[in-house]
Chains A and B, each alone.
Chain A
C-alpha cells in the first residue's frame, strides 16, 4: 500500500477512499497526525457524539479472523477475538478510548473483558433492545447523555450544543451522499461500493465527506447497465473486507442491495428534520434506523424491511452471511429464509469464520448464481425479471 500524500488526495479521491477501506485505519497516525481517533464498536453508538468532541470515530475491525486470545473461549466470534487480540498487542494504543454499545451478548462481554484486561479507557452505553418499548426513547437519551458525560471526563472538554448539532448535520450530509452512491449500486462494481461505504467508518468524517463529493462525478462516469448479472442482496453482520463482493461479481452477480452491519445498514434510515431538541433528534435516528437482529422494533419489522428491500431492488437472490458464533444473525436466518421463500426469492445462507471466502464458498456461490441465471433463461417470454 502506498503512503498517502497531499497531491494524491487532490488528484484521486476515489483511490484515497479505497485505500482507506483496505487499510482499515491501520495508518491513521501517519495519514492523519493532527486527528484524534476514538474507537467504536457497533452502529448503535452514535458517532455524532464523538464528532461533537472533535474526535474521529473509528470502527474497530480485526486484522485477522484467526486470532485466539486466551481471554476468550474458542466459541466466540472472530470479530471480538480479533479486536481484543489487537488491543492486547497494543494496536489501539493511540486511541483516546473505545466506545462500547451493548448490542449482542458477545459485544457486551467484550466490553467487560476490555475493562479488566484492556489498556484503553472505555465509554459504555446500553441502548434499549426494545426500541419502541414504553420509555425507550427517554432511556436512550439518558444513556447518550451519560456517554457524553463519560467523554467529557475523558477528554476534559465539553462541546456546546451547537457543536452537537453540527455533528448531527455532518453525519446526515454523509448519509445523504452514501444514499446517492447506494442508488448507483446496481450499476457499479459490488466491491467498489462496499469499500466506499466501509471507508466512512474508518477515516475522519470531514475528509470522508469531501472525498465522497469529489469521487461522485467519477462514480457517475463509471456507471454502466448490468441487467445481465444476477441481482443479489447481501445481508448479515460485519464484513471487514470485500472478498465476498468480489467473488459475487466474478461469478456473474451484482450486489444491488446491501444490509450488512458495515454496509448500507450503518447509514440507512429515515431522514429527519431538525427539532429544538438535538438529543431527541440524535436518538430518534438510531431508534428508527433499520434494526439489526439484536434489536426489536416489533416482532417482524426486520423481516418485513428486508422483504421490502428485496422487492424494491428487484432482487433475484439473497445471500445471508452468518459469522461463525454470531447468534443474533444465526437466529434470524430461519425466519428470513422462510419470509423470502414466500416472496419467491432464492436464498443462500453462508456461514463464514470472518469476511474471507474460499473454495467452498465459491462452489456454493457459483451454483447459487448459476441457478438464478438459468431460471431467468428458462422463464417464459415477458416474465423476465431482468
Chain B
C-alpha cells in the first residue's frame, strides 16, 4: 500500500502483520509458479472472484485472481498507466478498469506491480458477478491460447429455480470432464469434500469476525474489511486461509469484548455498498473517521461471508455460487441492505456508484430510495471508480461527504 494512512483516529489490527506474511507467501508462490508448477504437475488458472474454487483445488490447480491483482495495481498507483496501455490497444475507457488494467499488465508486464501475473495454463470464469468477465476472459483466452472454462450461473430475478440449479449442476459435471482432460488427474470426490469443509470453515470465520462489528463501537472499519478480505478471495479452501481467519476472528472478538473501536469516539455508524475505491481507500475513509464515522459493515467484502448451500458437494456448489448477491435482483439487494442496517444499528449508508461495475451500480439509486424509505436512515451516493483514479473527482466528493455527515450533527 503506498497511500499514507491517518494514524490519529485509526486503530491498526495486530493481525495485519500475519496478513502481510500470508499474502506475501501466496504472491511468491504464484509469481514463481513456473518453477514449481511443472515439476509438481500443478497447473495455474486465472480465475474470477466468484468461481467455485473448491472444484479447482480438488484438481490441485493453483488459482490466481486478475481482479485481486487489479486491486493491487490500483493501490500501487499503476492502474492509470496500465489502463492507457489497454486503451491504446483499442479497449474503450468505459470498460471495467480491473479488466483494462489486467490487459494492460498482460501487454506490458514491466509496468505492472509484482511484475504482472504469471502466464495461465487455463482460464476459469463464472458470470455470477457480471457479464464483463465472459468478454474479458474471451480476450485472455485468445491472447494466451489456453482453454477457457465458463460456468454460466443464470441471474436470479427471484428465488433460485430448479432449472437454474440443474443447469449449473450439469455444467459443473461437464467442467469436471474438461478438468480431468486438462490436468490429467482423476476427479476425487473425497478431495472435493475436503476442500469444501475447509472452504466452509474459512467463510464461517470471516462471517463470524464480521458479526462482531454489530457491537458498539465497531471493532472494524471498512478499510480493515477491504484489506483483510484478500485471503477470503484467494485462499478459500486452504489451511493457511483458515489459520489466518482464526487469528483475525480472535483479535476482532477481543476488541469487541474490550469495547475497542476501530475508530476512536465512534459517533456515526455507516454501511458501505459497492467495491472499494482502491486508489483512495485510506484518504477517502479519512473524511469519515475524522468526524467519528465508521463503516461497520459492507455489502462487498460481505459477499464472501456466504453460507454453503446444502446437498451433495456439486449441488452445494451449484446453489452457493448462483445465489451470490450480485446475481440477485434489486429487490433482494434492498432487503439485504435493510437487514444490514438493522443488524448493525447503522445511522446511514454510502453507495459508491462505480463506473466500472454496472451490475453493482446501475440499480443502486432505486435501492437507495427504497432503503431510505424502509429504514428512515439517509443514504449518500458518490460516483467514482474502483480502480481508475482518473474517475475520482476529489472536491465534489469531499463536498458531498461533508454535507452528508453534517446531517448527523
Q: Which of B114-122, B161-169, B183-191, B285-293 contacts A (4 or more CB under 8 A)?
A: B161-169
Does A252 lie at the interface of the complex (its beta carbon under 8 Å from any beta carbon of B)? no
Does A296 lie at the interface of the complex (its beta carbon under 8 Å from any beta carbon of B)? yes
Does A76 lie at the interface of the complex (its beta carbon under 8 Å from any beta carbon of B)? yes
Binary per-residue interface labels of chain A (261-300) against chain B in the complex, 1 for a CB within 8 Å, 0 otherwise: 0000000000000000000000000000000011010011
A111 CA to B367 CA in the complex, in Å? 13
Instruction: With both chains docked as a complex, state the minimum distance between the C-beta of A147 and any C-beta of chain B, in angstroms.
Output: 11
Q: Is the CB of A327 within 8 A of B358?
A: yes
Q: Is the CB of B167 within 8 A of A135?
A: yes
Binary per-residue interface labels of chain B (53-96) against chain A in the complex, 1 for a CB within 8 Å, 0 otherwise: 00000000000000000000000000000000000011110111
Give the dominant DSSP class at B's interface: helix
- Contact partner, B363, options A75, A112, A143, A322, Cβ 8 Å: A112
Which chain B residues in 290-311 approach chain A with CB under 8 Å?
none
Instruction: With both chains docked as a complex, state the minimum distance between the C-beta of A153 and any C-beta of chain B, in angstroms.
Output: 14
Q: Which residue of B lies closest to A124 (CB)?
A: B157
Known contacts A133-B150, A299-B148, A328-B135; A76 and B362 CB within 8 A of each other: yes
Number of A residues with CB within 8 Å of any CB on chain B: 52
Q: Is the CB of B362 within 8 A of A109?
A: yes
A-B contact number at CB 8 A: 154
Known contacts A117-B366, A330-B95, A331-B139; A130 and B353 CB within 8 A of each other: no
Query: In the complex, what residues of B have CB within 8 A of residue A334's CB?
Result: 89-91, 139
A136 CA to B131 CA in the complex, in Å? 17
Q: Which residue of B lies closest to A74 (CB)?
A: B383
For A75, A299, A324, which residue has the most chain B Cβ atoms within 10 angstroms?
Answer: A75
A75 CA to B170 CA in the complex, in Å? 36
Instruction: With both chains docked as a complex, state the minimum distance between the C-beta of A70 and any C-beta of chain B, in angstroms.
Output: 7
Does B316 lie at the interface of the complex (its beta carbon under 8 Å from any beta carbon of A)? no
Instruction: With both chains docked as a complex, state the minimum distance between the C-beta of A181 and any C-beta of chain B, in angstroms.
Output: 32
Q: Is the CB of A108 within 8 A of B155?
A: yes
Instruction: With both chains docked as a complex, state the minimum distance between the C-beta of A138 and any C-beta of chain B, in angstroms.
Output: 7
Does B142 lie at the interface of the complex (its beta carbon under 8 Å from any beta carbon of A)? yes
A331 CA to B138 CA in the complex, in Å? 9
Query: In the complex, what residues of B have CB within 8 A of residue A337's CB?
Result: 90
Q: Is the CB of A331 within 8 A of B358?
A: no
Q: Which residue of A lies closest to B370 (CB)?
A: A116
Q: Is the CB of A113 within 8 A of B330?
A: yes
Query: In the complex, what residues of B have CB within 8 A of residue A124's CB?
Result: 157
Query: In the complex, what residues of B have CB within 8 A of residue A70's CB?
Result: 365
Query: In the complex, what residues of A have CB within 8 A of residue B370's CB?
Result: 116
Q: Is the CB of B131 within 8 A of A328?
A: yes
Which chain A residues in 93-107 approach chain B with CB under 8 Å?
102, 104-106
Q: Is the CB of B142 within 8 A of A335?
A: yes
A116 CA to B142 CA in the complex, in Å? 40
Query: In the complex, what residues of A have CB within 8 A of residue B154's CB?
Result: 102, 126, 128, 139, 143
A142 CA to B366 CA in the complex, in Å? 30
Instruction: With both chains docked as a complex, state the minimum distance between the C-beta of B179 and any C-beta of chain A, in angstroms.
Output: 14
Q: Which residue of A lies closest to B89 (CB)?
A: A334
- Contact partner, A129, options B134, B334, B366, B367, Cβ 8 Å: B134
Q: Which residue of A lies closest to B103 (CB)?
A: A334
Known contacts A108-B155, A109-B363, A334-B139; A129 and B131 CB within 8 A of each other: yes
Does A218 lie at the interface of the complex (its beta carbon under 8 Å from any beta carbon of B)? no
Instruction: With both chains docked as a complex, state the minimum distance between the C-beta of A126 and any C-beta of chain B, in angstroms.
Output: 4
Q: Is the CB of B362 within 8 A of A327?
A: no
Does B359 lie at the interface of the complex (its beta carbon under 8 Å from any beta carbon of A)? yes
Q: Is the CB of A322 within 8 A of B171?
A: no
Does A146 lie at the interface of the complex (its beta carbon under 8 Å from any beta carbon of B)? yes
Query: In the complex, what residues of A have CB within 8 A of residue B91's CB?
Result: 330-331, 334
Mark A residues whose CB is within 8 Å of B: 70-73, 75-76, 102, 104-106, 108-113, 115-117, 124, 126, 128-130, 133-136, 138-139, 142-143, 146, 293-294, 296, 299-300, 322, 324-325, 327-328, 330-335, 337, 349, 351
The 7 A-B residue pairs with the shortest CB-CB distance, nearest first, are A135-B170, A142-B163, A331-B135, A139-B167, A109-B362, A134-B174, A112-B330
23 contacts between A and B (CB under 8 A): A73-B365, A105-B358, A108-B155, A109-B330, A113-B362, A126-B154, A128-B152, A129-B134, A130-B150, A133-B171, A134-B171, A134-B173, A134-B174, A136-B167, A143-B163, A293-B135, A327-B95, A330-B95, A331-B136, A332-B135, A334-B139, A335-B138, A351-B92
Mark B residues whose CB is within 8 Å of A: 89-92, 94-96, 127, 130-132, 134-136, 138-139, 141-142, 148, 150, 152, 154-157, 161-164, 166-167, 169-171, 173-174, 329-331, 334, 353, 355, 358-359, 361-367, 370, 383
With A112-B330, A146-B161, A332-B135 given, name 7 new contacts (CB 8 A).
Answer: A73-B353, A113-B330, A129-B131, A135-B171, A327-B135, A327-B358, A331-B132
